[in-house]
Amino acid sequence: MKIKHIQVFVCCPGRNFVTVKITTDSGVSGLGDATLNGREMAVVAYLEEHVAPCLVGRDPQSIEDIWQYLYKGAYWRRGPVTMAAIAAIDMALWDIKGKIAGLPVYQLLGGKSRKGVNLYAHANGESIEDTLDKAAELKDQGFKAIRLQSAIPGLPVTYGVLGDKKDYFELQGNRPLPPEEVWSTQKYFALIADLFAQARDKLGTDVHLLHDVHNRLTPIEAAKLGKILEPFDLLFLEDPCMAENQDSLSVVRTHATTPLAIGESYNTIHDCREMIQNRWIDYIRTAATHAGGITAMRRIADFASLFDVKTAPHGAPDLSPVCFAAHMHLDIWAPNFGIQEYVGEGNAESLQIFKHDIKVKDGMAFVGDAPGLGIEFDEKAAAKYPYNRSYLPVSRLEDGTVWHW
């Protein structure tokens, strides 16, 4: 069996998604997600010009060899563009291998370690009351873990809160240039303890609570936050600070027992290594699309398991349903799986394009038994929603200094 051709599709059913389809000479095909929010077309060019020509004619079953060929063989390693391209090829090859074997991908990884995949949902609100009303609704729907984000009084928009958007699946406000947002650490600290104190009063103790800081704090500020949130018993605090210096997390660790999670923007196991082996984190949040696919995620999960670190894959709306399907197979298999981020199954336009057999009930996802990844891509439906350039926002402090978004 040989790879016959590789196609790259970009569609925008509210969000831009880059989808790779590998077709073999026997007619079997596989799908991968190569979406890199705000930099989509860079990955398309990398795939079409630099990856696809090297793979035509190769054996699609040699997943590991192709991964190493694209990673080590290119000399230029790592980085989000490279790794998203490798990830999409890797997912598509696992999809093909499953279809050839007549087995879902999780069976090829080693089978199920649990009956379903625990999810955490998002409650975002314009005020603490609004956030907690939404959290109560999610709890009623059966979710047992909920991330809380509330608009910060005095700031026009806040990360994680929809603001002027009607839902998560709306393109970033249809923005041909990056919008700019304002951040104030002082105003954030004035809100955060109240949010979680009121959450425990209203929601009780039989629900897991989570929170995402989105890298806005310095290490010592993050340590202060971890300490403030200790009484409210979070499942984890996500991205408390940037970690280009990986030992930043050790500062937080020294001062607080609030569990820590990081890694959604990391591209390789090397980006995670020090934090895992030093036990500076409790959850590693790499995503299949941005950290090199199923092959690389399996390696990260196994490495993390040696140090009692659990997996909690990123699940933002800018990852396509193909990535979500890949996560389902990894999550149901990984012995050290922790929890999966979940923002809903997408809008009506997206559901016309991506069809899958994942079922969500009582805060848990159940993976189907279709061979491969269990997801289909409708090219004709995708063509109705062409690429639309859009950016993530850029963050500035109140004095105008560029800050972490």
Taking the complex as a whole, how short is the minimal distance between the CB of residue 373 and Mg ion, in angstroms? 23
Report CA torsion sign: 128, 134, 139, 143. negative
Token match 């998002």: residue? 122
Ordered DSSP codes for 256-310: --S-EEE-TT--SHHHHHHHHHTT--SEE---TTTTTHHHHHHHHHHHHHTTTPE
**Coil, strand, or helix at residue 312?**
coil
- Tell me which of 214, 290, 329, 356 is the catalytic residue: 214
Whole-angstrom distance, CA of residue 212 vs CA of residue 186: 17
Whole-angstrom distance, CA of residue 166 vs CA of residue 181: 18
Taking the complex as a whole, how short is the minimal distance between the CB of residue 223 and Mg ion, in angstroms? 19
The overall longest dimension of the chain from CA atoms, in Å, is: 61
| Residue nearest to Mg ion as judged by C-beta position | 212
CA distances to 87, 113, 245 from 79, in Å: 12, 32, 16
Contacts of residue 163, defined as CB under 8 A and 6 or more positions apart, other chains included, come to 151, 156, 157
Taking the complex as a whole, how short is the minimal distance between the CB of residue 262 and Mg ion, in angstroms? 9
Q: Which is nearer to Mg ion, 95 or 238 (CB)?
A: 238
Q: Which is nearer to Mg ion, 95 or 212 (CB)?
A: 212
CA Rg, the chain, in Å? 21
Q: Which residues pair with 364 in a beta bridge?
A: 118, 361
Name which of 330, 383, 338 is nearest 90 in CA terms. Answer: 330
- Tell me which of 120, 159, 266, 342 is the catalytic residue: 159
CA distances to 156, 157, 400 from 180, in Å: 11, 10, 10
266 catalytic, yes or no?
Answer: no
Q: Phi first, then psi: give them for residue 217, nearest 5 degrees.
A: -105, 160
Q: Which residues bind Mg ion (CB under 5 A)?
A: 212
Name which of 127, 102, 96 is nearest 29 in CA terms. Answer: 96
CA distances to 2, 90, 217, 371, 375 from 61, in Å: 9, 10, 45, 15, 19
CA distances to 231, 287, 290 from 211, in Å: 14, 18, 22
Q: Report the relative pairing of strands 364-366 and 117-125 from DSSP bridges.
A: antiparallel
The DSSP 8-state label assigned to residue 49 in this structure reads: I
Q: Which is nearer to Mg ion, 212 or 271 (CB)?
A: 212
327 catalytic, yes or no?
Answer: no
Q: Which is nearer to Mg ion, 92 or 210 (CB)?
A: 210
Q: Which is nearer to Mg ion, 52 or 135 (CB)?
A: 135
Q: Which is nearer to Mg ion, 69 or 405 (CB)?
A: 405
Q: Known catalytic residues?
A: 159, 214
